[in-house]
Amino acid sequence: MKIAIGNDHAGPEYKKAIVKMLEAQGHEVINYGTDTFDSVDYPDFGHKVAQDVADKKVDFGIVVCGSGNGIAMTANKHQNVRCALCWTKEISVLARQHNDANVISIPARYTAIPQAVEMVEAFLSTDFEGGRHANRVNKIACS
């Protein structure tokens, strides 16, 4: 799988752990995030990840910021991007099963690194259920 990841200054350690896990599993990772704790603007990284997902250059996206909200809002501005803010493994599974989410947003200040890695693993290994959920997902995008 090809995955884009982006983060602001709240997420360098999260990104490092997630990328390590992804690469160990044989995934190709495109890194758009910062590697320092110096203050940066999350939209700069969220837009790059979301654009790659929208353009189908990658299979999935991962974004990380302090609350997970700002970068999720940024990603969701792109057509055909469904970015889900997740704080537990169960939420990340439901985001895929029911919402066909293609980007996961992680709140670095409210989750632990092992929890974030577990959420990403669950997110990437869960399929969209389709069925009754497909009709709902088809109503999400604005024309």
Mark whether 9 is an active-site residue.
no
87 exposed, middle or buried (CB, 10 Å; 0-12, 13-18, 19+)? Answer: middle
Provide Rg for the chain, Cα atoms. Answer: 14
From the candidates 47, 65, 78, 83, give the one annotated as an active-site residue. 65
- The DSSP code sequence of 72-103 is HHHHTTSTT--EEE-SSHHHHHHHHHHH---E
Segment holding 69, helix H or strand E: helix 69-75
Instruction: Report the relative pairing of strands 83-85 and 103-107 from DSSP bridges.
Output: parallel
From the candidates 9, 78, 86, 98, give the one annotated as an active-site residue. 98
Mark whether 133 is an active-site residue.
no
Calpha distance 30→9 (Å, rounded): 18
Other CB atoms closer than 10 Å to residue 66's CB: what's the count?
A: 16
**Residues acting as catalytic residues:** 65, 98
